[in-house]
Structure 1
Amino acid sequence: MSDPDTTAFLAATRTSYDTIAADYASRFPKALDGVPFDRAVVGAFAELARAHSPAPVADLGSGPGHGTALLHDLGVPVFGVDLAPRMVELARRAYPALRFHVGTMTRLDLPDAALGGVQALYSIIHVPDEHLPGTFAEFHRVLRPGAPVLLGFQAADADGRLHLTERFGHGIALDYHWRTPEKVARLLVEAGLEPYARVLREPVDGEKFPRAFLLARKPAEASTGAAGPA
C-alpha cells in the first residue's frame, strides 16, 4: 500500500505537469541547447554508462523526452520515465523510435541491478526531503554494480521550498524543493552510492540559481553498509 504522503505529492506533481505539458515542451524545445558545459557533463555521464551497455540507462523525469534523445544520440541505450502521462505522450510523439513510460522514481518498476545508469535532470526538485533518501535507495537498487547516476538541480545556499500556483497561465499546485549540493551529496552517500564528481555552474540567460551536477556510482562490489533495499 502506498504511503498517503507519497501519493499526495505524486498526484499534485502529475496533475501540474499534465496541465502545463504542451507549453513546457514548446518553451524548451531542445535539451540543453545553448549550454555546452551542461551537455559536456551529460557526455561524461554517457561515456561512463556506455561501459555497462547493453544495460540501459533510465532518464527519470524525462518530460518531453529531450534529455532521453540526447543520451540516445550519444550512443547510450536509454528509455525515459515520467510521472505525467501527458509528458510521456508528447515524448513518444516527438521521438517515436525511443521508449517512454509512465512511472515514478520513488518506486521503479524494474528488477534489481537492471540499469547501466540513472539520469535525473531537474526532477529531484519535486521530491520532498522525507522521500529523497528512499528515492536514492531505489536508484542504488536498480543500478548494476559500478553504474553511474547523474543528478542535475538548482543549487541553493540553504534548503527552501517554493509552492507554485501558476505557470504558463495555468493554475497548478507544484512544489519545488531547493537544496545545497552538500546535502544532496550526503544523501547519495547514505544510500550507498560513491561520489565521482561535483560541478557547480553559475547562472546564465536569466537563471536565478547556479546549476549543480552530481555524478556518483554504485560501488563495483555491493556495500554491506548503507544501501538500497534488497
Structure 2
Amino acid sequence: MTATEPEFLTAARTFYDAVAADYADRYGGALAAATWDRAVLAAFAELVTAAGGGPVVELGCGPGRITGHLAALGLDVSGLDLSPRMVDLARAAHPQIPFGVGSLLDLPYADGELAGIVAWYSIIHTPAEQLPRAFAEFHRTLAPGAPIVLAFQAGEGALRIEDPFGYPAALDFRRQQPDHLEALATEAGLKVTTRLVREPGPDERTPQAYLLAHRAG
C-alpha cells in the first residue's frame, strides 16, 4: 500500500486478505456446477488458441480457481490479484502457475504483451470514475485482436457486505449495466463481440453477465 493509493483498493485488499481462506473453502469447487461459466471460459480459450496462443492473465484471480481451470484448458496463464493472502493461497493450490500481486489500474505488463485477459468479477469493486482507467489498461496490455472476457453482476447500485465470515471488514460490490460497460470498452478501443446475461442462480441475488471483446486490430 502507498500513501496515494485509492481508498477502494485499500478496502478491497483488507477485505479479501481477511476472508481469503474461508472464501477459498466455500467457492473452490463452485465452477463444477457453473455450466455457463465453463462455457464462456471454454469459448475464450478456443479464441486464444485459434489465434496462436500466448500469455494470458486472470485479473482478480483470488485463490486461483478460474486460473487453474484456464491452465487445464491448455492456456499459458498467470494470475494477478490485489490481495497478497489470496495470491499465497493461489500459489499453494497451483504451484505450476505464476501468480503476482497487483492492481487493475496499473497492470505490470508491457504494451501489447497479452494474448488474452480474463476479468472474472474483478471490476465489481471499482468506482465508476476509475473504470475508464481500468479499461485503458486492458487495451494497452492486449495484443491487437486479442480477446478479453469480463463477468459481473448485471444491475444498478451497490451491495455493501460487512463482517464477512465474521471478520471486521466491509466492501461495496458494484453492479453494472452491460450497455454501460460496452460503451466503456468501445471508448477504450475494444470491440465487443458477445454479450450474455443469465438469470440468477439459487445462491445469486442478481442476473449475471458476460462480455467478450477484442482489442481492435
Q: Is structure 2 residue 37 aligned with structure 1 residue 38?
A: yes
Whole-Å separation in 2 of the counterparts to 1:107 and 1:3: 16
Match of 1:206, SS state, is: coil
Letter in 2 for 1:13: A
Whole-Å separation in 2 of the counterparts to 1:53 and 1:166: 45
Whole-Å separation in 1 of the counterparts to 2:52 and 2:17: 32
* Structure 1 segments (4+ residues) deviating >4 Å: none
Whole-Å separation in 1 of the counterparts to 2:88 and 2:136: 28
TM-score (norm 1): 0.90
Q: Is structure 2 residue 20 aligned with structure 1 residue 27?
A: no
Whole-Å separation in 2 of the counterparts to 1:116 and 1:132: 21
Give the aligned partner of residue 56 of structure 1: 55
Residues 19 and 150 of structure 1, relative CA distance in 2, 3 Å threshold: same
Give the aligned partner of residue 218 of structure 1: 215
Letter in 1 for 2:20: A
Are 2:55 and 2:116, in contact at CA under 8 Å, matched by a contact in 1?
A: yes
Whole-Å separation in 1 of the counterparts to 2:86 and 2:203: 25
Long gaps (5+) in structure 1:
221-230
Long gaps (5+) in structure 2:
none
Are 1:31 and 1:67, in contact at CA under 8 Å, matched by a contact in 2?
A: no
Whole-Å separation in 1 of the counterparts to 2:19 and 2:40: 28
Are 1:58 and 1:79, in contact at CA under 8 Å, matched by a contact in 2?
A: yes
Match of 1:130, SS state, is: helix
CA deviation digits over 1:39-92, x for unaligned, max 9? 011100111112344521110000000100111111111000000000000000
Are 1:53 and 1:77, in contact at CA under 8 Å, matched by a contact in 2?
A: no
CA deviation digits over 1:82-113, x for unaligned, max 9? 00000000000001111110011111011100
Whole-Å separation in 1 of the counterparts to 2:102 and 2:64: 14
Residues 129 and 3 of structure 1, relative CA distance in 2, 3 Å threshold: farther
Bigger mean CA deviation after superposition, 144-153 or 43-52: 43-52
Residues 3 and 188 of structure 1, relative CA distance in 2, 3 Å threshold: farther
Are 2:164 and 2:170, in contact at CA under 8 Å, matched by a contact in 1?
A: no
CA deviation digits over 1:9-47, x for unaligned, max 9? 111100110000000000011252201122011100111
Q: Where do 1:147-226 residues align within 5 Å?
A: 147-156=146-155, 159-220=156-217
Give the aligned partner of residue 68 of structure 2: 69
Bigger mean CA deviation after superposition, 135-144 or 41-50: 41-50
Give the aligned partner of residue 120 of structure 1: 119
Give the aligned partner of residue 226 of structure 1: none
Whole-Å separation in 1 of the counterparts to 2:3 and 2:28: 35
TM-score (norm 2): 0.95
Are 1:79 and 1:98, in contact at CA under 8 Å, matched by a contact in 2?
A: yes
CA deviation digits over 1:113-168, x for unaligned, max 9? 00000101111001110000110010000000000000000111xx3122222111
Give the aligned partner of residue 136 of structure 1: 135
* Amino-acid identity (%): 48
CA deviation digits over 1:177-221, x for unaligned, max 9? 11111111111111110011000111112211111000000012x
User: How many pairs align?
Assistant: 216
Match of 2:16, SS state, is: helix
Letter in 2 for 1:116: A
Letter in 2 for 1:168: F
Are 2:197 and 2:209, in contact at CA under 8 Å, matched by a contact in 1?
A: yes
